[in-house]
Copies of this chain bind each other. A is one copy, B any other.
Amino acid sequence: MGLKFTLKKREKDMNIGNVKIGKDFVIIAGPCAVESIEQLLNTALYVKACGAHLLRAMVFKPRTSPYSFQGLGIDGLKIVEEVREKIGMPVVTEVVDPRDVEQVCEVADVIQLGARNMQNYALLREVGRTSKPVILKRGLSATIEEWLNAAEYILSEGNENVILCERGIRTFITETRFTLDLSSVPILKKLTSLPVIVDPSHAAGASDLVKPLAKASKVVGSDGLIVEVHPDPQHALSDNKQQLNFDMFKQLMLELNELKC
């Protein structure tokens, strides 16, 4: 495969806030997109109280249509910064343009690269030149080998902190948005010492499937989850079918904690 870094044993720990990535089971939760200071702050307070470690706080949204809500952009970053400081919770935010990487890094604790950008090599390299932990989502039609090669782009630039995120692949299935490939988790855990988390929200595309898939993700040996939570999913500006409301998230956290595996 010609993989120089992803197959190497990691020496250093990857700690973000109080959580040891790859050792603790990390919970990243928050809205699909930042919509307002109230929305983000309320969600952050709630998910933190339930035990989430990191706040999902996206301001650049790669959307299929240019006419859909694209996120609040740079203005949104200020909201993220304010909430982050107010409640002392580390934040994950997505970057979609190599020209924004520097500015995003001033706020973000963790950078996310989305599925549609898994092979956006200019962006991968730019992020590889920072030292921020990077969540690298699996591309919609990426094999495990292609995914690890994408991680190599980041690692070979000097950034050792890549976290792989399974989020479902495109198949002929129409009952879910994507097909969550949970076998990728034990395969990756065997191949590489990079942490592997799962995004059950995007895979399912339906909030009632998030809990069983999240629990299954823990059981197959993943290192954590990234879950969409919104105070009022029905009125969300994006992904309104798959975001959990507060009660659903609380219930998910309860059941995850009880799950001994």
Contacts and interface: CB of A to CB of B under 8 A. Distances in A.
A144 B96 contact: no
A62 B204 CA distance: 30
A64 B120 CA distance: 10
A185 B175 CA distance: 12
A153 to B, nearest CB: 5
A184 to B, nearest CB: 7
Given A169-B172, A185-B212, A212-B185, A141 B141 contact: yes
Contact of A96 (B67, B96, B122, B174): B122
A160 interface: no
Given A179-B181, A183-B175, A152 B66 contact: yes
Given A62-B121, A66-B121, A96-B122, 16 more contacts: A2-B65, A62-B119, A64-B146, A64-B149, A66-B153, A117-B119, A120-B123, A141-B170, A144-B175, A175-B183, A180-B181, A183-B203, A190-B208, A212-B220, A218-B219, A259-B259
Most chain B CB neighbours (cut-off 10 Å) among A117, A173, A185, A218: A173
A132 B153 CA distance: 30
Interface in A185-213: 185-187, 190, 203-204, 208-209, 212-213
A217 B217 CA distance: 11
A114 to B, nearest CB: 9
A184 B119 CA distance: 24
A98 B98 contact: yes
6 contacts: A65-B149, A120-B123, A144-B175, A171-B179, A175-B183, A182-B213
Contact of A219 (B121, B179, B187, B259): B259
A213 B176 contact: no
Given A65-B2, A220-B215, A186 B208 contact: yes
A97 interface: yes
Of the listed residues A182, A215, A218, A220, the one surrounded by the most CB atoms of chain B closer than 10 A to its CB is A182
A97 B122 contact: yes
A170 to B, nearest CB: 4
A175 B171 contact: no
Nearest to A62: B121
A221 interface: yes
A4 B183 contact: no
Contacts of A180: 181-183
A140 B187 CA distance: 22
B179 A183 contact: yes
